[in-house]
């Protein structure tokens, strides 16, 4: 049995993930509030557009539609809480913008980065990870791997994010160990 562990940091990957919405306001007597239901529905669509499927989306109730009001919604993606920062940017038109609190790492970027590591030189690995990994601090993501140089040995590649900026440790070991 062998285990390989390494640490590395990805550059800013989740770049253009902020989105402005038009009217998300709802009236509550004399105070205009952000429509929780509309925002949650728009977040679900936005996540799907970025290859993320949320099993649950929760935004706080009674958020004032005031410019500069900031709050967080929480999206459950593959059992991991993914906070999304929301800010009211134009109260009169009901615009809000949001972005994920943590970096998102596309599968292709993760796989290419791992295969380019000197520690894996000479190996022929096929790696299959989720479409997008979210760098929630202290989260683990398991990827299937096959080591072609070792007679199609089934492996597990575990990616452990140490912060929300894309820094991670990884471990490659045979399945079942």
Cα distances (angstroms) measured from residue 160 to each of 3, 57, 141 = 14, 24, 6
> The tokens of 141 are what?
């993501």
CA angle 170, 152, 122 (to 5 degrees): 60
pLDDT digits 0-9 by tens, 122-147: 788 888 888 778 888 999 989 999 98
- Residue 41 pLDDT > 90, yes or no? yes
Query: Which band of pLDDT confidence, cut at 50, 70 and 90, is reported for residue 26?
Result: very low
DSSP for 69-117, please give it: -EEEEEEEETTEEEEEEEEEEETTTTEEEEEESS-EEEHHHHHHHHHT-
pLDDT digits 0-9 by tens, 44-90: 998 888 777 889 999 999 999 999 999 999 999 878 788 999 999 99
- Asked whether 40 and 73 are in contact (CB, 8 A), the reply is yes
Cα distances (angstroms) measured from residue 130 to each of 66, 87, 96, 106, 108 = 37, 29, 29, 8, 10
> The tokens of 28 are what?
């509550």
Could you tell me the pTM of the whole model? Answer: 0.67
Nearest to 129 by CA among 117, 138, 140, 116: 140
Between these two residues, 111 and 144, which has the higher pLDDT value?
A: 144
Domain residue ranges of the chain, discontinuous segments joined by +: 19-100, 104-174
């Amino acid at each position: 049995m062998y285990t390989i562990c390494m640490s590395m940091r990805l550059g800013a990957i989740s770049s253009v993930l902020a989105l402005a919405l038009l009217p998300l306001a709802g009236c509550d007597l004399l105070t205009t509030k952000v429509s929780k239901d509309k925002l949650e529905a728009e977040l679900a669509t936005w996540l799907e557009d970025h290859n993320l499927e949320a099993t649950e989306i929760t935004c706080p109730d009674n958020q004032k539609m005031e410019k500069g009001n900031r709050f967080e919604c929480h999206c459950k993606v593959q059992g991991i809480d993914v906070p999304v920062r929301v800010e009211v940017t134009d109260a009169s038109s009901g615009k809000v913008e949001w972005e994920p609190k943590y970096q998102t790492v596309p599968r292709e970027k993760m796989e290419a980065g791992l295969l380019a590591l000197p520690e894996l030189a000479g190996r022929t690995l096929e790696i299959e990870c989720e479409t997008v990994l979210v760098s929630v601090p202290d989260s683990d993501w398991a990827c299937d791997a096959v080591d072609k140089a070792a007679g199609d040995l089934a492996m597990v590649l575990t990616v452990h994010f140490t912060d929300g900026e894309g820094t991670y440790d990884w471990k490659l070991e045979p399945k079942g160990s």
